Structure 1
Amino acid sequence: MYSQALLAVLAFSVARVVNAANVSVDVPVLQPTKSLPLASTLLSFSIEQDNWPEWSGIDERNEFTYSALTTYANLTGQPPKLRVGADSEDHTVWSPTVTINEDVFPPSNAITPYPEATNITVGSEYYTLVKWLPSGTHMVWGVNLGFNNATNAVNMVKAIINAFASPDVIESGVILERIEVGNEADLYGNNGLRQKGNWTVEDYVPDWESIADPVVEAAGIYSKNGSVSLQGAAFASQAFTPREVFALGILNSTAGQTISTISQHQYSAAFCNGGDFGLISFMNKTTVRGNLTVFEADIAASKANGLAYVLGETNSIACHGAPGVSNTAGAALWVIDYTLFASTIGIDELYFHEGIGYKYNFLQPVALNYSTINGSALDPPAPPHVQPAYYGGLVINTLIGNSGAASIVELTVDESDTTGYAAFENGQLTRAVFVNLNAWVASSTGTRPTVHIDLDFVNGTTTAKTATARRLVINYADDTQNLTWAGQSYEETADVSPTGQLDLETIDLTDGFDLRATEAILLTF
C-alpha cells in the first residue's frame, strides 16, 4: 500500500541550501527506439465508490466535475478514464429495493474528516449516473469480492452491464471498458474480510475464481479482447504479486482468460494514524523513482502475457493524504514527475485516487462543510474547487497533446533535484518538460535557487532556433493555492475556466533557460 522505506525519510523536513547550478541536457531530435507510447489517458482517476453520486450528479450532472474533466479532455482529445471502486468496492451490496444508494459512514475525526462508508447499498440507477460524464469517458467498475458472495457480485455486474446498455448511457457516449473483482485482496487477512493470519496468495487465486467466474458469465464477457474485459490483481502492496498469480495459473481460469489489464496500487506513505510528513523530503527525485521501479518485474511479466499494466489506484500519501504535503503546490510538481516517470517504465495509465474531502484530491467536486485538514466546521462552506495537483495534470496533458500518437523518453538531467522528459510525434521531437523539485517553502531564507539548463540536440539536426515556453509558477512549495499555468489561474471560476492573460515565453535555444526551485516549464518546439 505504501513504501516502508519512505516513512523515515518523510518524518521530518530539513531546509536545503542549494547553489545555482548549470546543466547541459542532451535532447534527441528523432524519436529514440527506447521511447514508449504516451496514452491520452495516462492521467486518469480512481473514485471512492461510496460518494460516487456526488461526483457524477444525480438529477443533473455535476457541472464542476464535468468542467474539470472536460478541461483535461480538451488538451488530449480524450477524457480521463474513471475507475469507481476502491475500499468501498468491497463494502457494497446491490438491492432491488434501493434506487440509487444508501451509505453508512463512521464518525468523522481530525485525522480522517471524510471517512469511507462502512456499508453501501446500491440500486440499479446508481450505475446509470455515468450518463452525466463527458462523452467518450471510459469506465472501470469494481464489484465486491470481499464479502465472498457470488450472488451479490453477479447482481452488481448485471446492474452495471444493464446500465451501460440503457438508452441514456448509450446516448451519453460513456463506455464500460473493464470490471474489477475485488480491491486490495492482499489485505483481506488483516481487514476482517478473510481469516486473519491464514490468507495467502495460494488461497486468493481459487477464491477469486469462485467469484469472478460467475461474474464474467453473467456479464457475457468471454475474452480479454472484447469490448468489456476484466482488470486483474488490484493489490495494495508486494505481499501478493501478479507474477505469483500468473504462476498459480489464474490466467487459465474462465475469468482469468478475460483479464486484459493488470493493476497494482502505490502510495509513498500512509496517514492512517496521522503523523508529521515532510514536504521537502517528499519532493525527492530519487524516492519517486524508487517507489515506481519496484514494479518493473510485474510490468515485464504482465506485458509478456500480452496484458496492459496500470497503477489502478495511486496518489501521494495513503488514507486520503497528509496535510502540508498532499494538498500543496509541491504535490503538483510531484504529480508531474511521478506520472511521467511511470510512463517511461511501461506503466500505461495511473488512476489517482479521489473522494469527497480527501486532502490529495485534484478537485473537490462539491461544497465542503468542514476542513479537510482537521475536521473543523467551515462557515461558509468551501465551494467546489481545484487543488494544486490539478495543475500538475494540466502540465502532463499539455505534454501528451491531442494527436493520440505521442511517445516519451526521460532525459538525463545531471542535477539532483531536476527532471526532464521529451515527447515525440511522427518520429520528431515536439515538446519537452522540466521539473525543479527543489522545495522552496515559506520558511526558506536567502536567494531562491535556480538551475540554468542548456539543451544539446542529438540524434539528428534541428532548424529550430526558439521554443515556446509555458511555466507552472509557484510562490512556495507549501502553498495550497495561487498557482498559475502559463500565466493563468484555474482556481477562480465555477467552471474551471482559466482567468488571467495567457503568458507564452519565447526561449532562445542557444541561450538556454532558467528554472527556479519549485517550478516546471514546458517547451514546444
Structure 2
Amino acid sequence: MGVKICFSLLGGLLSVRTTAKATPSITNITLQLPTQIPAWTEPLSPQLAGFSIEMDRWLEFAGKEVGKPNEYFNQLLRNLGERTGHMPCLRVGANSQDRGFIDLSVPVLKSDFPPPTVNVPNPEATRVSIGRDFYALSGNLPGGTSFMWGLNLRSLNKTETVAQARLLADTFQGSRANLTKNVKLVNVEIGNEPDFYGPTRFGVQGPYGPSWNVANYSATWIEFAEAVSREIKFGNSESNSRQPTFSTGAFTGFMGPEWAPQGMLQAGILDKASVRSMTSRFAGHAYSGGFDPRRVVNPGDLMDKLSVRANMTIRTDGIAAVRSMGLKYILGETNSYANHGQPGLSNTVEAALWMTDWLLLAASIGIERVHFHHGLGFRYNTLQPVSGSDDGLNITNPHVLPSYHALLIVNEAIGASNRAEIAEIATTNLTLTAYGIWEGGRLKRMVVLNSAVYLGNGVKSSLRISLRGGRDERRPATIKRLDSGMTTSLTGVTWAGQSFETISGRPEGDVVKEAVVGGVFELPASSIALVAFDDTF
C-alpha cells in the first residue's frame, strides 16, 4: 500500500473535521521528554503481545484438519508478525486443558459443552477428548509461530498427563515432527490455575480440600514435571536451546498472598537442579474484574489510568522474586474482565486503549510476554476466527474487534530491531499516558494515549500536546493514529488510515502519516498516537 503524509499543523486537521458552528474543546498540555534514556528501561520482546486460546475451541482457530488452516486467523497473525519480524506466541490450554483426556479413537478433538446461561453465554467444555491430530494442528499456523502447550494437572492422574506429553512429543519431536517443522514448541505448562484446585475465597470450591496449598502444589508439580521430561526432550533454560522449557505457576492472581510466586519458590519448586535447568518462566494470570450481567457499564472504567496501574503494579514483588531466580515472568492468561468479558467495555474501542496501556505497562515493569485469552464468542476477544460468533458486534462473518488494533499498535511500536527498550514517560494529566521506546540509547518512538471518554454528544475533546525537554523536542517526527467514532464504538475503527475490518483480514486503504510540526500535535479523546522520530536528525 502507498503512504500518505499530511504536512500540516494538526490543529488545522481538527478544524477540518468539525463543523463551522462547533467549538473544539482543546486542552494545552506539555509532555516533558526524558533528557536521556532512563536507567530503568526494560527490554521489549518482539513477542510481547501473545494469545491464549481456550483448548476446547482450538479447531476454530487452527482449522479442523491437518493441512487445512484457518486462513483468516493466519492472516491476522501475519499482520502482527510483519511488524516485529516475529510471529506471536500462542498458549493453548486454560480451563479446558485440565478437562482434557487422550482418546486416540477421536480423529482430532471432541468437546462436550453445557448449555449456555445468562451468566455464561459462551460456556467452556466440561470434557475435552484429545485425538491423534490434535497437537498436529499446530502446523497449520504460519511458519515461525511459537507455542506454549498446556497439559492436565487438575486430575492428578500422572498416567494421563504423561500420555498427553507423549503425544505432544511425538508431534513436535518424534514420528510426526514433519507436520510441525515450521512452527516451534517453546514452553510446556502443567496445569491451569492450581490455586483454584482447593477451597477459595470466592465461593469456588475445587476438588481438593485445605491440604491443597502452594507447598503441596510445588511438590506435585516437580513430580509431574520429572515424569513429563521423560517423554519430551527439554532444553536448558540458560541456553538458546531449540528444545522447549517448562513454564510453571499459572496462578489466577486472585488467591494472593498465599498463592504468590514467592511461596512457590520458597516451597522449593526449583530446588532440584534437573527441574530448574528445564524451567524458564513463571506465568501469572490477571484480569481487571469479572463479568456480571447486572453491572452498570460506565465507559472509562476499564481504561482508567489509576485502575490499570493499581491492577498491574501489585505484581512487582512477584516479578522481582521470579527474576531473581533466573526465570522470566509472563502473563500466561489475561484480558479485561474474567468470565469472557463485559459487553459495552470489553468489545469496544475502550478495550483497545486499555489493552495498549496494559501491554506497554507490563513490558515497562519487566513482563516478557502477555497472552490475551480467547475463546469462541468471548466479548474480550481481539478477533472471532469463524462465522456465527456472538460477541455483541452483530457481525456474522469472522471479524476483528476494536482491541485487535492494540496488538497492531504495540507491535509496530516495538519494531523489528530486536533491541528496543521501554519506559513509561511521566505525564501531568490522568487521561494522558505516554511510553518511550529507545534503540541504541536514542528515543525512536512514543506511544501516546488519551483515555478521555467521548460518547458522541457535542464536540470531541482533544489534548494539544507540546513535546518539551532534551534534544528530541524539535526533532522531526510523524504520527500514526487510532481513530474511531467514540469510546463505545464497536466498528469503524482505523489504524493509520487503514481498516482491518475486512473479510480477508488484510488491511484496506493507504497508510496515513501526519507530520508533527514544532513538536506539537493534537490527540482527541479515546485515541492513540504512535510518534516516530526521524533517524537522520
Report the TM-score when normalising by structure 2.
0.88
Equivalent of 2:41 in 27, 35, 46: 35
Moved more, 160-169 or 66-75: 160-169
Query: Residues of 2 paired with 1:368 and 1:462: CA distance?
Result: 49
Determine the structure 1 residue equivalent to 2:188: 179
Q: 1:126 aligned to 2:138?
A: no
Superposition deviation, residue 206 in structure 1: 1.7
Q: Is the 8 A contact 2:288 2:336 kept in 1?
A: yes
Q: What amino acid is the match of 1:25? A: L
Give the match's secondary structure for 1:324.
Answer: coil
- 2:262 paired with 1:243: yes
Amino acid paired to 1:297: D
- Which residue number corresponds to residue 7 of structure 1? none
Q: What CA distance in whole angstroms lies between the structure 2 residues aligned with 1:210 and 1:167?
A: 27
Greater Cα offset, 129-138 or 102-111: 102-111
Secondary structure, counterpart of 2:300 in structure 1 = helix
2:467 touches 2:473 (CA, 8 Å); kept in 1? no
Structure 2 residue identity aligned to 1:214: A
What pairs up with 1:212-227 in 2 under 5 angstroms? 212-221=225-234, 223-225=236-238, 226=241, 227=243
Q: 1:467 touches 1:509 (CA, 8 Å); kept in 2?
A: no
Q: Does the CA-based 8 Å contact 2:249-2:283 persist in structure 1?
A: yes
Cα 1:164–1:71 change in 2 (3 A) is same
Matches within 5 A, 1:7-406: 20-28=26-34, 30-59=36-65, 60-165=68-173, 166-171=176-181, 173-190=182-199, 193-221=206-234, 223-225=236-238, 226=241, 227-237=243-253, 238=256, 239-253=258-272, 254-271=274-291, 275-368=295-388, 371-373=390-392, 382-406=396-420
SS at match of 2:33: strand
RMSD: 2.0
In 2: Cα distance, 1:350 partner to 1:324 partner: 23
Query: How far apart are the structure 2 equivalents of 1:348 and 1:236?
Result: 18
Give, as a single letter, the amino acid of the residue that structure 2 aligns with 1:209.
Answer: I
Unaligned runs of 5+ in 2: 1-23
Q: Report whether the alignment pairs 1:472 with 2:482.
A: yes
- Conservation of the 8 A alpha-carbon contact between 1:124 and 1:160: no
Alpha-carbon offset, residue 53 of structure 1: 1.3
Partner of 2:7: none
Q: Is the 8 A contact 1:48 1:355 kept in 2?
A: yes
Deviation at 1:30, TM superposition (A): 4.4
Check whether the contact 1:230–1:259 (CA below 8 A) recurs between aligned residues.
Answer: yes
Q: Is the 8 A contact 2:25 2:460 kept in 1?
A: no
Change (3 A) 1:120 1:67: same
TM-superposition CA deviations, 1:366-401 (whole Å, max 9, x none): 0116x3349xxx7xx711000000011111111111
Shift of 1:257: 4.2
Q: Partner amino acid for 1:408?
A: I
Q: 1:58 deviation in Å?
A: 2.5
What is the SS of the residue equivalent to 2:407?
helix
Cα displacement string for residues 10-49 of structure 1 (whole angstroms, at most 9, x for unaligned residues): xxxxxxxx97432212223643322111110110010000
Residue 410 (structure 1) aligned with residue 438 (structure 2): no
**Which letter maps to 1:24?**
T
* SS of residue in 1 equivalent to 2:98: helix
How far is the alpha carbon of 1:134 from its aligned partner?
Answer: 1.2
Whether the aligned pair in 2 keeps the contact of 1:110 and 1:373 (CA below 8 Å) is no
Displacement of 1:413 in angstroms is 1.1
Check conservation: 1:146, 1:193, Cα contact below 8 A.
no
**1:353, CA displacement in angstroms?**
0.4
Report the Cα offset of residue 282 of structure 1.
Answer: 1.8
What 5-or-longer segments of structure 1 have no aligned partner? 1-17
Q: Equivalents in 1 of 2:263, 2:529: separation in Å?
A: 41
Letter in 2 for 1:489: S
**Cα deviations across residues 332-387 of structure 1 (Å, max 9, x unaligned)?**
01111111011111111100001111111111000116x3349xxx7xx7110000
Cα contact 2:33–2:472 (8 A) shared by 1 = no
More divergent stretch after superposition (328-337 vs 109-118): 109-118
- Indicate the SS of the match to 1:306: coil
State the AA in 2 paired with 1:396: V
Shifted more, 117-126 versus 201-210: the winner is 201-210
Partner of 2:518: 509
Q: Is the 8 A contact 2:432 2:449 kept in 1?
A: yes
1:448 Cα deviation after fit: 2.2
The residue type paired with residue 195 of structure 2 is D
Q: Which residue of 2 aligns with 1:489?
A: 499
Contact kept? 1:50, 1:103, Cα under 8 Å = yes
Distance 1:242 1:24 in 2: 40
Deviates more, 1:347-356 or 1:420-429: 420-429
Residue type matched to 2:263 in 1? E
Identify the range of structure 1 (319-328 vs 58-67) with the bigger mean alpha-carbon deviation. Answer: 58-67
SS in 1 for 2:144: coil
Query: Separation in 1 of the partners of 2:420 and 2:455?
Result: 35
Higher mean displacement: 355-364 or 245-254: 245-254
The one-character-per-residue Cα deviations of 1:221-260 (angstroms, maximum 9, x if unpaired) are: 3643442110011000224011001111110135344220
Q: TM-score, normalised by structure 1?
A: 0.90
Q: Percent identity?
A: 34
Contact kept in structure 2, 1:29 and 1:429, CA below 8 Å: no
Residue-by-residue CA offset, 1:292-338 (whole Å, 9 max, x unaligned): 10000010011111110001100000111010010001110111111
Aligned partner of residue 281 in structure 1, secondary structure: coil
**Matched letter for residue 248 of structure 1:** A
**2:159 partner amino acid:** T
Distance 2:473 2:386 in 1: 49
Query: Are the aligned partners of 1:28 and 1:429 in contact in 2 as well (CA < 8 Å)?
Result: no
Q: 1:343 corresponds to which letter in structure 2?
A: A
2:463 to 444, 451, 454: 451
The aligned amino acid for 2:183 is V
Distance 1:252 1:360 in 2: 38
Alignment-derived partner of residue 3 in structure 1: none
Q: How far apart are residue 455 of structure 1 and its match?
A: 0.7
